[in-house]
């Protein structure tokens, strides 16, 4: 059974969904793909798993890298899972390009190349904002592109982490 609760962030309300295994989603309310993996019979309640995610977000939004990660229960294709794992390897306060991720995916899949557009699609469907840091992925030219929560939020998050100077 899934549970759903809300979190008031400096960037607006967020929804957090969890099941017995872990967090299945964290989205900015109204963003692209908001709550797409939430069961229609979700219970609106805060669970210990959701409380742990809120504690993570509280620390994160104070500008500190949280020293823990709440349990996650990712639901996606094997390709998406690979991309999301690579996103989690991008260090706090750093960025990575879609091209760099495409090269890593190609290497892991033992291919000569991988489409940056395919990577962009997997990154864009990341269901767990902030904890799986898709906001740290930028264009090859350094541009802030493609964030389901909006470019303004991406800029804020990268600035908060010290990856962008304003």
Determine the 3-state secondary structure of 43 from DSSP: strand
For the chain, the straight-line distance linking the first and the last C-alpha, in angstroms and rounded, comes to: 43
C-alpha to C-alpha distance for 30 and 15, rounded to whole angstroms: 10
The sheet with strand 43-44 has its strands ordered as: 23-28, 12-18, 3-9, 43-44
Whether 134 is catalytic is yes
- Identify the active-site residue in 29, 96, 107, 134: 134
* CA-derived radius of gyration, the chain: 15
Q: Length of the chain, please?
A: 166
Going by DSSP bridges, is the β-strand pair 12-18/23-28 parallel, antiparallel, or unpaired?
Answer: antiparallel
Residues sharing a CB contact under 8 Å with residue 126, sequence separation 6 or more, in sequence order = 84, 87, 132, 134, 148
For the annotated catalytic residues, the residue numbers are: 134
């Amino acid at each position: 059974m899934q549970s759903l609760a809300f979190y008031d962030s400096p960037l607006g309300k967020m929804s957090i969904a969890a099941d017995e295994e872990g967090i299945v989603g964290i989205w900015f309310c109204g963003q692209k793909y908001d709550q797409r993996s939430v069961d229609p019979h979700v219970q609106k309640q805060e669970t210990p798993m959701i409380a742990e995610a809120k504690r993570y977000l509280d620390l994160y939004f104070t500008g500190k890298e949280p020293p823990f990660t709440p349990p996650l229960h990712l639901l996606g294709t094997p390709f998406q899972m690979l991309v999301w794992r690579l996103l989690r390897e991008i260090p706090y306060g750093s960025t990575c390009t879609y091209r760099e991720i495409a090269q890593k995916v190609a290497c892991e899949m033992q291919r000569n190349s991988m489409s940056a557009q395919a990577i962009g699609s997997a990154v864009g469907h990341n269901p767990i904002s902030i904890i799986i840091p898709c906001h740290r992925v930028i264009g090859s030219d350094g541009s802030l592109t493609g964030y389901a929560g909006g470019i303004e939020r991406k800029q804020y998050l990268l600035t908060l982490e010290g990856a962008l100077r304003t």
